[in-house]
Structure 1
């Protein structure tokens, strides 16, 4: 049985990755930040399985800045693979909290690399990078050789972390990889992200719980894929015969308007009747023409994104409709 350690295990990718690894027979350890609440909805179904929780799934409290505790956790569970998913991941929020973004997204990655460097038993390491490292690229689509030109605090922090992973691989011989992920969404996406904000609104408007939704720019274009497929590529990267970097993307890009159209069509509504634009949600700087070339991942890992944007939006809206309907059927006491 292999052992994996996941930072950011309670996030969207962490929950899908946990399910994948457990299905493959792994023992999974996760690092979580201690807070006043113990509710971790994305993993709730696993917590309540007596054959899984505290038998094949274990949680440890630590903060990415707490290197002593993280080192202790790694010495205790001796992972074969370390998936680093944690960090401040909201691009828009990074303008409001740039120091926090850099501390956890950039320096948090470096601290993990330094811990691994000193371990006698070094786990294979995967860092989740982002298309935001490319910022405003001169070429489209982008691949693993595209120059980094980040234009957001989040993109800059990710570029630092990505280059550090490459440096430690080349300088210290670590099996360290970068998964350069383009936008990947799912019904588990956080509610502050535009895709989930849209699908929640479509579901709420369809159920007469909401009258409209306020958004920023509708012209931004992104390469949107399905998160459950992307974690499979992450796992494949650490099974590869050598450490390398891979772009994970669908190879197609769509505008926010396209996502709106697909989401509201899923409930037979016209988004233009319900959407208001609000300058408060406009970003000071934003990447453009971000679309990925994942041909290397297909060629070397046998991985290819399958879920199209209309299908992705539909399954997200359906999940939000189910949440609303479930809440309405709960007893009042």
Structure 2
């Protein structure tokens, strides 16, 4: 196991941007940035022993200064959508940027945690990134300290361990927004990937703004049922109102039996490479996003990314949980630290 730090460029603030290379004995290599706490590369041996980069990203560090699709980014302090860009804690209202119709999406496009330089500390097989945020920053309460540790194990598991403390009650719902293509980034559509989910419910949305209705609905008899393995593309264009609202899959799933312990929630395989990714988390939900609106002309290796060239499995509390009494509690503070783990294991 080894961690190597490489200087890559300078952020708009002038702070240095470093790439941290984590490698293991199986030939897996993960490259993460202190800018945005971003996953830039995950190299995995395929069925022929050739290394394949299975996440979308950029070769030019300056592209991450835009990154409006959030490629590989750590999203925080809150991910996904909040209705009407506001919420209340103990009767006090907080106002967030309106950046997705009338709603808030991924905190702030220009000033969120994915656009900040994090402090870093290297270990034998891990890097811990730290970021501090003051009370009132981006419309959130509490003087807070966030940590995210990336660990690469010898059994090819990339562990993401999030931890945060706050001196006041505050909303926290972070995620990582990596776009995966297990056939290799830049290889084209991911719709032939075979996916199996260990979850039987999802949260339907009201309309194209993608705010959940508040219902936790069964996937039975719907295109959202992946309990029996099928390709991502099999039902993505079905005549289904929920799919039409958001151009395909862009919905939260409620993980079966979520109780704070680690649960395997999804397995995905690319037939072209034989690479399988097994995903687990202790969080109550995850967003399946099939890259319906993905578009960027300057991907890695000179590749142009187009819709459905990658998929996301964003572990999370449910979208708009803060405003839905029946959804999981995502308020943290002096008496409740934020501490959660997500694992992507490659087979």
TM-score bracket relative to the smaller structure: under 0.3
What TM-score do the two structures reach when normalised by structure 1? 0.27
Higher helix fraction (1 or 2): 1
